[in-house]
Amino acid sequence: MTPVDRKLRVLIVDDSATVRRFLSDLVNSTPDMTVIGEARDGQEAVAMAASLHPDVISMDIQMPVMDGLAATELLMQQHPLPIVIVSSRLERSEKEVDLAFLALQAGALAVLKTPPAASHPDYPAARDQFLGTLRAMAAVSVVRRWQTKPIPPTGETLPRTAPPLVIAIGASAGGPMALHTILEALPADFPIPIAVVQHMAEGFIEGLVRWLDSSSRLRVRLAEPGQFLQPGEVTVASSAGHLTLHRVGDRARAYVDTERGSTPYQPSVDRLFVSLAEGFGPRAVGILLTGMGDDGARGLLQMRQRGARTIAQDEESCLVYGMPRAAVELGAAEQVLPLKAIAPALLALAQTVQPR
């Protein structure tokens, strides 16, 4: 068997024998993945991960002996591996949600609900999301955690369990195709509004918006001063000025500042990210994609310092590894993900958002 043909090796961790068998059958029913072990608790998971070297772990949260949070923290220190939190109790247990978000902070890459039984109408979509997330996260290069002190949040201190209110994406060279890849993977009812700053020559932004709108199930539109961002929509900054977002209750309102200021870019990714750091704190997500220069890196750092989730595209999937590199070197990126892993990560975050 060549490396290209090698199956992804999955470790299933759950205290329920029924759930372990159900998830194992799902994985083993695919031609490109295989279950190499089943653990009943976090302690078994740590030991099996050290001996079996899985490509990805499906990890329950509440378990006896050692729970999924403690196991994730230990694995990230001793044997860093891609971990996906998979729980059937996320909708019923506030404690489960708290632990799941702490596991993300400790190094887990995504949180999913356990797929329902095959007779449930949501089973096909949930099955595909579970398997797709395992595939995507298996490709993520993870690093040891807590080798240095984590950056302490400042300002607003809402719990990380609070769901995101807005997602901001910044990109430059190579950005249009990267944006296309992310947006086409999101459903029409994606519940978190998205704002985008893409560096592009004047006169081309409108064409970008038309192209993304035609190729995505989301509505893609140019930013208008004073508009409220909506779920299921992507708001793209025009070249007329800097797009910033202001919080009004639990909604994001767009403003356009036509004063260029000291930045060489208009619109500026940093300006957008800083507005989210100041107005939304931990209720925001910042993503920095492929591009030249360093625009967005400092703003992403401010977002992370205020408790937001921050993601940088990895070097291998970038057309130009400039802006993400600058963010990584500053310590601004909580996660560094391949391009195709970003949409699954956003879908996992969206699991926590209640319909408005």
Q: Which of 172, 268, 275, 317 is catalytic?
A: 172
Verify whether residue 199 is a known catalytic residue. Answer: yes
Per-residue 3-state assignment (H helix, E strand, C coil) for the chain? CCHHHCCEEEEEECCCHHHHHHHHHHHHCCCCEEEEEEECCHHHHHHHHHHHCCCEEEECCCCCCCCHHHHHHHHHHHCCCCEEEEECCCCCCHHHHHHHHHHHHHCCCEEEECCCCCCCCCHHHHHHHHHHHHHHHHCCCCCCCCCCCCCCCCCCCCCCCCCCCEEEEEECCCHHHHHHHHHCCCCCCCCCCEEEEECCCCCCHHHHHHHHHHHCCCEEEECCCCCECCCCEEEECCCCCEEEEEEECCEEEEEEECCCCCCCCCCCHHHHHHHHHHHHHHHEEEEECCECCCCCHHHHHHHHHCCCEEEEECCCCCCCECHHHHHHHHCCCCEEECHHHHHHHHHHHHCCCCCC
Phi-psi region of 296 (alpha: psi -120 to 50; beta: other; left: phi over 0): left
Asked whether the bond before 267 is cis by omega within 30 degrees of 0, the reply is yes
Q: Of the listed 199, 216, 242, 275, which one is catalytic?
A: 199
Indicate which residue of 55, 67, 294, 295 is catalytic: 295
Q: List residues with catalytic annotation.
A: 172, 199, 295
